[in-house]
Amino acid sequence: MSETISPMELQACLVQERPIKVLDVRRKMDYEAEPDLIPGAVWHNPEEVDSWGSELTPDNEVVIYCARGGSVSKSVLTALRAKNLPVRYVEGGLAGWRNSGGEVVRQ
């Protein structure tokens, strides 16, 4: 499985209603400054990935995103893959999602 998913691929998966968990893993201060989410996403503090990551199961693919698809997404991806979870991160993060025309919802 690839480490990334493009915003367009994610949009297609969401339209098809595939069983995907979408998780916003932006740093707390970034999330609080701009509480917009990809529709259906839930925010999780990346610093607590060991705690909430244990609640995930390999039944559904997990797609994560941070602000720009950089170090935060990569570190969370590594932690979740260590738990044998099928996880990818959005290329470009929330900024990439928006730039591709993806809608957001205000939390």
pLDDT per residue as tens digits for the range 39-57: 999 999 999 999 999 999 9
Q: Which residues contact 35 (CB under 8 A, 6 or more apart)?
A: 43, 106, 107
| Structural domains in the chain plus CATH codes | 4-101 (3.40.250.10)
Alpha helices, DSSP H only, in the chain?
7-15, 28-33, 49-53, 71-81, 93-99
- Rounded distance, CA 39 to CA 81, Å? 24
Can you give the pLDDT at residue 19? Answer: 87
- Model's pTM, two decimal places? 0.95
Regions in the chain scoring below 50 on pLDDT:
none
Can you give the pLDDT at residue 17? Answer: 84
Can you give the pLDDT at residue 1? Answer: 78
